[in-house]
A and B are shown apart, each in its own frame.
Chain A
Amino acid sequence: MLFLPHWPTDYLKRRDPQLKAPLVLYEPVKGGLRLAAVDAEAMRLGLSAGQNLADARAMVPGLTVREMDRPLLEAAFADFADWHSNASPLVAVMDEVSAFGDLVLDITGVAHLFGGERPMLRLLLTRLRDLGYTVAGAIAPTIGAAWGISHFARSQVVEAADLETILDALPVHALRLEPAQIAGLTQMGLKTVGQVRPRPRKPLQARFGASLLARLDQAYGMIEERMAPRLPPAERYAERRFADPIGLMDDVLMTCHDLAIQLAIRLEAEGQGGQAFHLFLYRVDHKVMALSVNSARVTRDPEHITKLFANRAERLEGEYDAGFGIDMIRLAVSSVSELDAVQLGAFSHQGVAEDLDQLNDRMSSRLGTMAVLKTQLVASHIPEQAARLVPTLAANDGPRQADWPVPLRPLRLLPMPERVAINAEVPDGLPASMIWRRDSYKIEKASGPERLGAEWWRSGQRLQLVPPKKPKEGETPPYIPNLPKFDPEAGTRDYFVVEDGSGRRFWIFRQGFHQQGEPAVWYLHGFFA
């Protein structure tokens, strides 16, 4: 648990060294301007959060005052929290009591990397103090205890055996309670946690609610408390720290290759492979940059992984900014599943599909996932719905059966049908000439119509699923208030295959039925070979 009481002001001072202490941040609360955050200097002078801004100005003449920009600070604190994942992969921001300042790190099984819990705490604290932050920290068996100790005692490591003695001595504020609960307990003369704990539980619950008991039990470890880590936990990762920060993308990719080899060795030993790989670059100035790539096939091939990241990095261009340098790189794998070692045969065709998948991955990583597509056939007779383009990463074997009919369809389809003008000798007859993109075509051969009706069953479903609600007086409804009744005519198309004098063959259709007196609406939809 890390507690940074003056984080917002420390952060702003670090961003802008011109800001002079004492610094306070204010925000409008219920019509008045009240202090939202104060720095260490202002606190020493007797200011605290919640005070009226005018009072504060009167008390401290040379006060530096800024308005609080919550979205900016929240984003910055999130980045700050992510950066701490270089100490432990599970980092959470505790925003129950205050929005900024409380960081929880689950260091189970991590401390030995830093030479034990005590050196780890010392390292984390000195690192932040060197950056100019006021910070206190505590390592304890429970989240509740760590919170209380970091806020109300000196920074220390608490073993499970000492937990009760140390917690008992803390004031009741250390239990993360509501202000009303604290006031009530103080009125009863209960000042320390140790005085509250032996009291009968039923009257306490009746007076202060179940949350008091829950907090108490959480602090002493009677019930488990969960944290919501900011980054998805990756169980398998490889990382490297640098004595001197690095900056060049080439160096990053070289390190990535080394890490991929390390990771591959581990995965191979476990008989596993992954589909999503994440590269975290930890910058010296507490920022994290994350790159992710996906693979269509479960893999652990370091060459392939490095190639994907290299392609992904090419797409970054201006976005890549190493700042003052990168001092740690971590390569993590997620979507892990079993991947057995395969024996490659001289005549096996298995390698072919794998080669293709790897090619698709490489192209997707450089051009974007939505740029590398496969056709998936759908059971629909509406031409534009009969085929769907899906990213190769997501493509699977479609539902196509061998006995589906194969109607005559054009080789190329226009994404949007284009309006054409058609003349026919008789109103309902075959087209005789066509004007498309300002060129006129004399149609010499034509066949049709092939009548494709609307999917009445889908339209009917939609009508039932969205019953129109009555809009309130003067309110513009966000939905279509009166859905049009299903109109079989509107969705019906008559398709024709036409050939012009030079042998070009087009697929055109007339929208709706032919009606007396109204000009028919024609579209061009595709080209035949």
Chain B
Amino acid sequence: MFLFCSLEDGAMPAPDQQQRLAALRETIADIERKPALAEARVLVEQQGGAFPVLAGGMLQEMFTDERRNAGALLGFALAQARGLLTAQRQAVIYLQLADEAQKLGLPYGPGLLSFGLDPDALVLVRAANMGELLWAVEEAIACRAVAAVVADIGSHSKLLDFTASRRLSLRAAATGGSIFLLRYGQGREASAAHLRWRLMPVHSARARYDAKAPGPLRWRAALEKGAIIKTGTEFLLGWTENGFATLPAQRHHADRHAGRAALPRAVPAALADRLSQTA
């Protein structure tokens, strides 16, 4: 009350002060609404431009344009999942529909080793249909020993709608594990995911001794949704033993994609984005 009176009586606060106040209020509101996101934003600010090390408790959608990019997409998800493994959370659960194994390929133990993930930490679940897959995602994320759940969904399903994604995002926020939904194609649907990435593979770097050979891998990840940084920010990423390496963006690649609309169905997706921010 006293504070209120003093504001009324005294001169109005300076404009920059007002701005800071508004910003603080927004931060508080964000923390109340989405603790994980607010935390991530603070982290990103601290790390200054580098790809953020994201904490658990988030539902992240990861899109890539085509199924043939499946390798890169799984790599991106497992790279994030590896960062979430701790002594208390020892497992990553990977889920796939049983009939999509030949389309997308199955995670391969020796490949996981050479990627830098212990195959023992990964449990593969092959569900018969989408209903069972979603059940398994919920069951797995409810377990406190699970660091991340990676759901590889190669086809479109009616069951995976806004309500389902809302359920999953609440579950993830409640238990502190992360869910990564791997999706393919350019269409976007309304979803309650905290973050949505669009991932594309990029030319590998130069191999050290052989110019003709593929070198260290490169990905480009663009943030399409989620208020941790300005949406649309692109990262050019490398992957090392120690985690992600953020590389300076290559100009010509950014230009090539600037002209094209990222979202064919921009309007409904944008609407949904706002919906989940307030919900």
Contact = CB atoms under 8 A, between A and B. Distances in A.
B24 interface: no
Interface in A354-382: 355-356, 358-360, 362-363, 366-368, 370-377
A374 B122 CA distance: 7
Given A359-B143, A359-B146, A411-B75, A371 B125 contact: yes
A409 B108 contact: yes
Contacts of B126: 367, 370-371, 373
Interface stretch (B15-23, B189-197, B211-219, B226-234): B211-219
Contact of B125 (A367, A387, A444, A446): A367
B120 interface: yes
A408 B115 CA distance: 8
A306 to B, nearest CB: 15
Contacts of A527: 68, 70-71, 105
A377 B75 CA distance: 20
B123 A360 contact: yes
Given A353-B90, A386-B110, 17 more contacts: A349-B88, A355-B143, A356-B143, A359-B140, A366-B136, A373-B126, A375-B122, A387-B108, A407-B114, A410-B105, A411-B74, A412-B111, A415-B105, A497-B214, A505-B204, A528-B111, A528-B217
B266 interface: no
A387 B139 contact: no
A360 B93 CA distance: 10
B108 A503 contact: no
Nearest to B212: A445
B55 interface: no
Interface string A330-371: 000000000000000000010111011011101100111011
Given A415-B106, A527-B71, A445 B201 contact: no
A505 B87 contact: no
B128 A411 contact: no
Interface in A474-529: 497-499, 502-505, 526-529
A383 B106 CA distance: 13
A297 B231 CA distance: 46
B78 interface: yes
A360 B91 CA distance: 11
Contacts of A505: 71, 201, 204, 214, 217
A373 B124 contact: yes
A447 interface: yes
Interface in B92-133: 93, 98, 101-102, 104-115, 119-120, 122-128, 132
A415 B239 contact: no
B91 to A, nearest CB: 5
Contacts of A362: 139
Given A445-B213, A499-B203, A412 B114 contact: no
Interface of B: 68-72, 74-76, 78-79, 87-91, 93, 98, 101-102, 104-115, 119-120, 122-128, 132, 135-136, 139-140, 143-146, 200-204, 207, 210, 212-215, 217-218, 239
19 contacts: A349-B87, A359-B93, A359-B143, A366-B132, A366-B136, A367-B127, A375-B112, A386-B109, A387-B110, A411-B71, A411-B108, A412-B104, A413-B105, A445-B214, A447-B213, A502-B203, A504-B72, A505-B217, A529-B115
Contacts of B212: 430, 445-447
B145 A356 contact: yes
Contacts of A447: 207, 210, 212-214
B90 A408 contact: no
Interface residues of A, number: 56
Most buried by B among A359, A377, A529: A529
A529 B239 contact: yes
B91 A371 contact: no
A212 B108 CA distance: 65
Most buried by B among A352, A407, A416, A498: A352
A406 interface: yes
Given A409-B114, A503-B201, A446 B87 contact: no
Contact of B72 (A351, A356, A529): A529
B110 A377 contact: yes
Nearest to A314: B135
A447 B74 CA distance: 22
Interface in A178-194: none
A456 B174 CA distance: 54
Contacts of A411: 71, 74-75, 78, 107-108, 111-112, 115
A413 B214 contact: no
B90 A352 contact: yes
A452 interface: no
Given A377-B110, A445-B213, A414 B127 contact: no
A503 B239 contact: no
A409 B215 CA distance: 14
Most buried by B among A376, A408, A411, A415: A411
B222 to A, nearest CB: 15
Contact of A412 (B88, B107, B210): B107
A416 B108 contact: no
B89 to A, nearest CB: 8
A372 B145 contact: no
B108 A410 contact: yes
Nearest to B69: A504
B102 A414 contact: yes
B213 A497 contact: yes
B145 A352 contact: yes
Interface in A296-355: 349, 351-353, 355
A368 B136 CA distance: 12
A392 interface: yes
A406 B112 CA distance: 10
Given A352-B145, A373-B126, A359 B111 contact: no
A390 to B, nearest CB: 10
A387 B110 CA distance: 7
A363 B76 CA distance: 26
Given A356-B91, A411-B108, A526-B105, A406 B127 contact: no
A356 B146 contact: yes
A415 B102 contact: yes
Contacts of A359: 93, 139-140, 143, 145-146
A372 B91 CA distance: 13
A502 B200 contact: yes
B46 to A, nearest CB: 28
A367 B74 contact: no
A79 to B, nearest CB: 30
